[in-house]
Amino acid sequence: MDSLWRAVSGQTNQLDDHDGVEFWSNPERTGWLTKQGQYIKTWRRRWFVLKQGKLFWFKESTVTRASRTRGVIPVASCLTVKGAEDVLNKQYAFQLSLRTETKYFIADSEKEKEDWINSIGRSIVQHSRSVTDSEIVDYDNKR
């Protein structure tokens, strides 16, 4: 029904990779970060929301059900999150390494940077693919 409404109202090109995550209510972490663009490498200030294994960003800090996401990163696809001051030569910088690319961010303070690294790192661990019972090899029974 929701997609039908978007089609009727002309909102079909809206980024909609939130998989039902209600990013507008009770997020794990929110705040302003400066993010480097993917294609044009300019720096833009965006409002970030971390919730249920997804890192969303928006133009505005007022996030509602109707807010349009400017992008989303599923943290399960992230390999590492760590400081990047030495890479970018910018204070409070950190990086998020994915399989195919590295994304760079700048926080407003050292504490904000550390808090984001810790929150994203925790989320990566919580949402990474865990080993299932069928993948566990019992070497004792193989002899």
Over residues 39-66, the pLDDT tens digits come to 888 999 999 999 999 999 999 999 999 9
In a domain, 134, yes or no: no
Residue range of the domain that includes 90: 14-128
138 in a structural domain: no
Is residue 7 a part of any domain in this protein? no
State residue 5's pLDDT score: 43
Question: Residue 22 pLDDT > 60, yes or no?
Answer: yes
**Model pLDDT, residue 93:** 98
For residue 5, tell me if it sits in a domain. no
**Inside any domain, residue 69:** yes
In a domain, 142, yes or no: no
CATH number at residue 32: 2.30.29.30
Domain count along the chain: 1
Query: Is residue 49 included in any domain, yes or no?
Result: yes
Q: Which of 41, 50, 32 is closest to 121 using CA atoms?
A: 50
Report, as an integer, the average pLDDT of 14-32.
Answer: 82
Identify the pLDDT of residue 37. Answer: 85
